[in-house]
Structure 1
């Protein structure tokens, strides 16, 4: 059997040498790199089983390339190894897909033990062919091939079997209901019903009746026994969309249903068995709601048996083009129109946009564009929604400069042959403004990445990409 390949990405020469020797003695094939650039070049050329990744490297922050490493065809396990403890960095590493976050002060025995456990897990996954479960997964219109969405689909493949409750989180418009349907359609409950409850639109006065049902004569107008949504979902999946909006008065009763798997309709004398698989979704922070007293901690524990986090569209590199093509074809086919083509300038503009409304916003834009171009064979920028075009143009002309302020010391001599073009000048202004903003932001937060990301409004991946671009050390 060939030894498993392990890459050590660390600029500490002594650490590289020592860890390489220990790995080789343990039967691994050890390789080393000292910069992000070298490390990425190696993982793109060779299939690695694991990568030891330092956080602070000469050309940037190691955490910024976790998605790139995990997204390689061999899907290596990433183990962060650092000499600088950082709770925020540790949390970010794990949520980004790292196997573990360990310190260089740990003994070599502990470090190798961590690697061995990761490789045992990897062998088991490969042996049962779970790594590529995504290929046979029923996606339910979840389109994309970016590392971020592939990791999400792998998580769906892990959660779907069985009947454990699943909490789907993500920004508005990321596709939480599609994710819930994918879990349902890849589960043992697939042949049963899929019942959706929009908790945000659930009137508190009649919420209990709608969810649990009622007996005849319970209230004026109750002329017959009525089955609630929970009983309708029996044998299948109950999807609670925006579960954070579930009224507190209902949460206690619903918790008991989850515990006992029995439902008593309003006014009924007997309970009825109710067996459904629960999938809930929210774009709110349930932990903050628990602290505020607006969500029950025991219910949160029950609905978070497993979790799936959907990435925002702005972080899904390369997926915009695939989504546009998919929904263009879908809209044209639904209306019986000829297929459309999309100009490269349109795709480029859509890929530059941040999509605050995520996939839902993109779908609406595509529907508008295809409808506007129904008598033409190609979609042009002119066919996009006017408000979207306006935002794209504004971003192109003043990208993020308004946030950072403009540098003052730009002086050019009119007869200087090297005087820049307007675009070159603009790029320089924006570049300097972005650098100044990032340095000031990090200084004001004491170097806290988590707090800097929150204040800037940038995604974590975008924030790290900018730090790397301007060679700013976090």
Structure 2
């Protein structure tokens, strides 16, 4: 006998499901709002949950992380009267059992429920030891990150091709290394190929290798990265940047694990495991003719989509402690404390550069407060604090009040030239403040990086009333 929770504001649908579940000799419960559903989920265990997408007090999908955290880990069946493809995609990526659109027949609902319960029963009989993952430098324990860890464990148990997707800075290479380190190939090579950094005319020789004299400048034979990955893992970072001709050649390598170095008359073999990563939408690239459909099918046997940091802010505390310890040890200073305002700034920022940007911001903060015991918001990068200030001003603006460059009154509206000048002045000042901090007031370094002459640099420093730099 299974415990079934039905979360749907449609009383007719709810009553129908309650009657169906009862006749199947299971125990049903009903909720008509997200608030009531949360209370039931926190107080009880369930085997299966029917979940409507649109409820009176919010989107049903918002409760999925809470459901994932349940000790019983119930199967979720999404039911909705709205043909929402985005919701369907999000639900499936969240690991729900099925997605059903109303109206639907009672028999189809009964079949889906029966299959879900049968799956749980068989899964319960198959006992397996808990997997202890090596996940060096992957920090966090949010539900979305734990879902990724589950996929890492799944990928590590086989040689299936894996595609890791996610925004820049989300840690795609770290997850690729975690798959390798937890696999049977862990003691072999992990070969990284940065597809975005390879010039088009060197991609083929870099991947496949070449014989001496194969082309101008080939003064000796060289093994390609595919050969070096033999018995190990080949990680193609930013695979969306592979030129079309190389995509075709690599597809054959992926199918047969055989390749021909440039200038060679014979083929060679490489037993490698492929993990690819990208921050681009490969399906859109396929639709635009920029990426091969058959190659996409090959590389995405298992897909791991990494969440951006702004969607897992519950991990920021752990990330803060990790990077504080790392940079304090690196600079040889005592562990620093943080004020509540500093932590509020970290959680309030969007982190479009994700964990990479977060790490850089923490590095700047520790460096700025090198001989101080506590971190304050003022120690964070200037650009970050400016964005937070702008966001705060937008939140305090009255509804309907126009945002004007010269003030709130129309008669104070500045000219375009004046507005442009203000923007440029602010950008110049932010750039110089950040560069001065990064170079520790070294004028030679500032001039080298910025391309400014000394006279122009001093003129800008005087204009913006900034500190004098060291000669």
Using structure 1 for the length normalisation, give the TM-score: 0.80
- Deviation per CA, 1:109-154, whole angstroms, max 9, x where unpaired? 3213212322333344454456964xx1212221112111111211
Partner Cα separation in structure 2 for residue 141 and residue 4 of structure 1: 40
Residue 399 of structure 1 aligns to a residue whose secondary structure is helix
Supply the distance in 1 between the matched residues of 2:285 and 2:90 (Cα, whole angstroms): 22
**Is the Cα contact below 8 Å between 1:70 and 1:97 reproduced in 2?**
no
Q: Give ranges in structure 2 of 5+ residues lacking alignment.
A: 404-471
Aligned partner of residue 313 in structure 2, secondary structure: coil
Does the 8 Å contact 1:265/1:271 carry over to 2? Answer: yes
Aligned partner of residue 201 in structure 1, secondary structure? coil
* Preserved CA contact (<8 Å) 1:70 1:77: no
- Match for residue 194 of structure 1? 190
- For residues 119-138 of structure 1, the aligned pairs below 5 Å read 119-128=117-126, 133=131, 136-138=132-134
In structure 1, what is the equivalent of residue 365 of structure 2? 369
Aligned counterpart, 2:441: none
Alignment of 1:437-456 (within 5 A): none
Question: Considering only aligned residues, what root-mean-square deviation do their CA atoms show, in Å?
Answer: 2.2
**Bigger RCO (CA 8 Å, 6+ sep):** 1
Q: Secondary structure at the match of 1:200?
A: coil
Aligned equivalent of 1:351, options 334, 347, 372: 347
Match of 2:278 among 269, 276, 282: 282
The superposition leaves residues 306-351 of structure 1 with CA deviations (integer Å, 9 ceiling, x where unpaired) of: 1000111111131111111111112223343322222221111111
- Kindly name which structure, 1 or 2, has the bigger radius of gyration based on alpha carbons: 2
> In the aligned structure 2, how far is the partner of 1:20 from the partner of 1:109?
14
Judged with a 3 Å threshold, the aligned counterparts in structure 2 of structure 1 residues 119 and 325 are, in CA distance, closer, same or farther, namely farther
User: Residue 406 of structure 1: which of 388, 401, 405 is its match?
Assistant: 401
Aligned runs of 1:152-301 on 2, under 5 Å? 152-301=148-297
- Distance in 2 (CA, whole Å) between partners of 1:235 and 1:87 is 41
Q: List gaps (5 residues or longer) in structure 1.
A: 409-474
Report the counterpart of residue 28 of structure 1 in structure 2.
26
What SS does structure 2 have at the residue aligned with 1:140?
coil
Q: Does 1:141 align with 2:144?
A: no
Counterpart CA distance in 1 for 2:344 and 2:153 is 32
Does the 8 A contact of 1:184 with 1:194 survive in 2?
yes
- 1:83-134 C-alpha deviation (Å, 9 max, x unpaired): 333333322322333221113433333213212322333344454456964x
Q: 2:49 is paired with a residue of what secondary structure?
A: strand
Who is 2:449 aligned against? Answer: none
Deviations 1:21-47 (A, max 9, x none): 322332322211111100011111222
For 2:347 and 2:71, how far apart are their aligned partners in 1? Answer: 24
Residues 250 and 84 from structure 1, CA distance in 2 versus in 1: closer, same or farther, beyond 3 angstroms? closer
Cα 1:368–1:122, aligned 2, differ >3 Å: closer, same or farther? farther
Change in CA separation of 1:292 and 1:83 when aligned onto 2, cut-off 3 Å? closer
Partners of 2:174 and 2:50 in 1: CA distance: 35
| Corresponding residue number in structure 2 for 1:418 | none
1:109 match: 107
Q: Distance in 2 between matches of 1:401 and 1:223?
A: 67
Which contiguous aligned blocks of 4+ residues in structure 1 show a shift greater than 6 angstroms? Answer: none
Of 366, 391, 412 in structure 2, the residue corresponding to residue 395 of structure 1 is 391
| Secondary structure class of the residue paired with 2:96 | coil
Following TM superposition, by how much is the alpha carbon of 1:388 offset from its aligned partner in structure 2, in angstroms? Answer: 1.0
Question: How many residue pairs align between the two structures?
Answer: 403
Greater shift, 79-88 or 378-387, is seen at 79-88
User: 1: distance between equivalents of 2:245 and 2:397?
Assistant: 48
Q: For residues 177 and 126 of structure 1, do their structure 2 counterparts lie closer, same or farther at Cα, with a shift above 3 Å needed?
A: farther
Judged with a 3 Å threshold, the aligned counterparts in structure 2 of structure 1 residues 35 and 313 are, in CA distance, closer, same or farther, namely: same
Q: Distance in 2 between matches of 1:151 and 1:173?
A: 19
- More off after superposition, 52-61 vs 208-217: 52-61
Provide the residue aligned with 2:61 in structure 1.
Answer: 63
Q: Which residue of 1 aligns with 2:147?
A: 151
Which string of whole-angstrom CA distances, capped at 9 and with x for unpartnered residues, describes residues 58-81 of structure 1?
212222322332233433222111
Give the structure-2-normalised TM-score: 0.80
Q: Deviations over 1:351-391 (max 9, x none)?
A: 11111111111011011112222222221112111111111
Cα distance change, pair 405–249 in 1 and its aligned pair in 2 (3 A): farther
Matched residue SS, 1:398:
helix
SS in 1 for 2:185: coil
Q: Distance in 2 between matches of 1:131 and 1:24?
A: 35
Cα 1:185/1:122, change in 2 over 3 Å: farther
| Alignment partners' CA distance in 1, 2:402 and 2:219 | 73
Aligned equivalents of 1:92 and 1:40: distance in 2? 20
Matched, 1:76 2:79: no
Report the 3-state secondary structure (helix = DSSP H, G, I; strand = E; otherwise coil) of the residue aligned with 1:154.
helix
Paired residue for 1:331?
327
